[in-house]
Amino acid sequence: MKKTTAKYLSFLAGAVLFFVILNPLYIINEGEQAVVTRFGEIVADTPNAGLHVRIPFIDIVHVYPKMIMSLEGDSQRIPTRENQFIIVDTTSRWKIIDPVKFYEAVTDVNTAYSRLSDIVDSSVRTVITSSKLNEVVRNSNLINELQHRENFALGADAQEIEFDEITTDKIVYERISRGRRALSDEMADIAREKVLAFGIDLIDIVPRQIKYSDELTESVYNRMIKERNQIAQTFRSAGEGKKAEWMGKLENEKRSLLSEAYNRAEEIKGTADAEASRIYAQSYSKDPEFFSFWKSIESYRKTVPQFEKVLSTDMDYFRYLYTPAGR
């Protein structure tokens, strides 16, 4: 009895050891899928996770990820429709939807990355070369609807004002019919048709970075400088207009003040002249002879120094030169 049991246990242990050595089972984890090949021919595909059986030493299991994967594209120097060169970096998202087609077309993930990179780069180049620069770098026409604000001063008086408040000029950018998002969808559609044969679903292509080439960068800077000069000239023109307006108001106010001052001065002078005439009349009435003498002396003081020569003094004007009595 004991010998029989020992033999049974030995047989069972040998069978387990043989089973382990043969390893006929394989495990597919969550987020994985597999293709089983026998002598290079696909005999089964395993889309679901779990424990599965194979023929040891004959069947080969090729495991692929089910998750979404990303492809970081290489930087490309691409001309736009206007023949302006830009440098484009893209990111693509993709996943394996048919492991059988995937194995038949590319076999492994590394090869898939290489083939997919070529296709994505080609579709990106195709779309960009047929599109304008504005369509590549912009996504909408919202820029024309935004309020243009400018800082009109520096220091403590700095304040932002609407550009339309100081000028009627409005900067209008070229309108686009397609934007960056539409171009990205177009790139993905072109590439998606080609990669379906690989058992791959291309989810999207997103331009990660768009840079101007060196020659285009200089052109963009020159355009920016020109635009800022135009804005500066607009500010200067608006300032000159304000200056002319304020100078006009100042001149009108100056004339008004001078006119009021002149009228007031004339009024004061008239009053003073009237008072002086009254005083003169009062003095004349008290001593008319002395008044006549005094006025004549004042006249001589002003006129005689200007005479270069006097031919005759036998005139009534000079009567006080010979006698104080004027006779």
Structure confidence by residue, pLDDT tens digits, 220-265 = 788 888 878 887 887 788 788 888 989 999 999 999 999 999 999 9
53 within 8 A of 24, measured Cβ to Cβ: yes
Least confident of 161-165, 276-280, 291-295, 303-307: 161-165
3-state secondary structure the chain: CHHHHHHHHHHHHHHHHHHHHHCCEEEECCCEEEEEEECCEEEEEECCCEEEECCCCCEEEEEEECCCEEEECCCEEEECCCCCEEEEEEEEEEEECCHHHHHHHCCCHHHHHHHHHHHHHHHHHHHHHCCCHHHHHCCCCHHHCCCCEEECCCHHHCCEEEHHHCCCCCCCCCCCCCCHHHHHHHHHHHHHHHHHHHCEEEEEEEEEEEEECHHHHHHHHHHHHHHHHHHHHHHHHHHHHHHHHHHHHHHHHHHHHHHHHHHHHHHHHHHHHHHHHHHHHHHHHHCHHHHHHHHHHHHHHHHHHHCCCCCCCCCHHHHHHCCCCCC
The domain segmentation of the chain, as residue ranges, is 2-65, 69-140+176-212, 220-285, 287-327
208 within 8 A of 141, measured Cβ to Cβ: no
Q: Which of 117, 95, 123 is nearest to 183 (CA)?
A: 123
Which residues make Cβ contacts (< 8 Å) with residue 168, sequence separation at least 6?
A: none
CA dist., res. 327 & res. 324, Å (int): 8
Q: Which fold has domain 69-140+176-212?
A: Tetrahydropterin Synthase; Chain A (3.30.479)
- Per-residue buried b or exposed e for 270-301, using 16+ beta carbons within 10 Å of the residue's own CB: eeeeeeeeeeeeeeeeeeeeeeebeebeeeee
Whether residue 74 has pLDDT greater than 80? yes
- Of the pLDDT bands very low, low, confident and very high (cuts 50, 70, 90), residue 318 is low
Give percent of the chain with pLDDT exceeding 90: 32
Whether residue 211 has pLDDT greater than 70? yes
- Of the pLDDT bands very low, low, confident and very high (cuts 50, 70, 90), residue 155 is very low
Phi, psi of 23 (to 5 degrees): 50, 65
Structure confidence by residue, pLDDT tens digits, 44-73 = 888 888 787 777 778 888 889 999 999 998
In this prediction, residue 261 carries a pLDDT of 92
Phi, psi of 100 (to 5 degrees): -65, -50
Is-above-0.75 flag for pTM? no
In this prediction, residue 71 carries a pLDDT of 93
CA dist., res. 129 & res. 112, Å (int): 26
109 within 8 A of 64, measured Cβ to Cβ: yes
What is the C-alpha end-to-end distance of the chain, expressed in Å? 191
Least confident of 86-100, 155-169, 221-235, 239-253: 155-169
Phi, psi of 308 (to 5 degrees): -75, -35
Strand partners, 69: 94
